[in-house]
């Protein structure tokens, strides 16, 4: 009698991927998990310092990694405050400009041709006055606000 499920991700905790592609997959999966955590406040932006606190011995230095997570476009201005026990707080401004689109076409959708850049939606040859042909694919809004989508069809110019 089996006590644990046959399909699970339990093995990923002890048997990590060792290939370059596998390591990239694992890092991407962790990044998505971290991004979900830091952006769960629906503010669209999170600035994370690592380490964010700790001791700094005399005459020493440590590298501080600043990671910016975002799921919205725009210009963001804020103040970063550094606190050192026994000293006055030090503040300095930060300005971040994020561009791009929150709209994504998720990968690996049946019907989309990923051998072209950008991916294409192939439509078969249709006989005149035949029944309508339907194709379906998914788009995703990764942002925190609703967006207005408008589709347009253009003639493809072949070289």
Residue 11 DSSP symbol: G
Beta strands (DSSP E) in 10-152 are 45-50, 65-70, 74-82, 90-98, 103-104, 140-141
Asked if residue 6 has pLDDT above 80, the reply is no
Q: Can you give the pTM of this predicted structure?
A: 0.59
pLDDT digits (tens, 9 = 90+) for 54-93: 998 999 999 999 999 988 888 999 999 989 888 999 999 9
Q: Output 125 or 22, whichever has higher pLDDT.
A: 125
Spatial contact of 109 and 123, defined as CB atoms under 8 Å apart? no
- Residues 102-136: pLDDT tens digits? 888 888 888 888 888 878 888 888 899 999 888 88
């Amino acid at each position: 009698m089996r006590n644990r499920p046959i399909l699970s991700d339990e093995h990923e905790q002890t048997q990590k991927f060792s290939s370059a592609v596998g390591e990239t997959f694992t890092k991407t999966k962790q990044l998505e998990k971290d991004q979900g955590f830091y952006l769960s406040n629906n503010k669209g932006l999170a600035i994370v310092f690592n380490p964010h606190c700790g001791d700094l011995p005399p005459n020493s230095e440590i590298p501080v990694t600043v990671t910016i997570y975002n799921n919205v476009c725009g210009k963001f201005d804020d103040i970063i405050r550094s606190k050192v026990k026994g000293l006055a707080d030090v503040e300095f401004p930060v300005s971040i400009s994020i561009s791009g689109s929150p709209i994504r076409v998720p990968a690996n959708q049946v019907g989309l041709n990923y051998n072209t850049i950008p991916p294409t939606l192939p439509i078969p040859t249709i006989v005149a006055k035949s029944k309508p042909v339907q194709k379906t694919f998914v788009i995703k809004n990764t942002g925190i606000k609703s967006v207005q989508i408008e589709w347009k069809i253009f003639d493809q110019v072949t070289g």
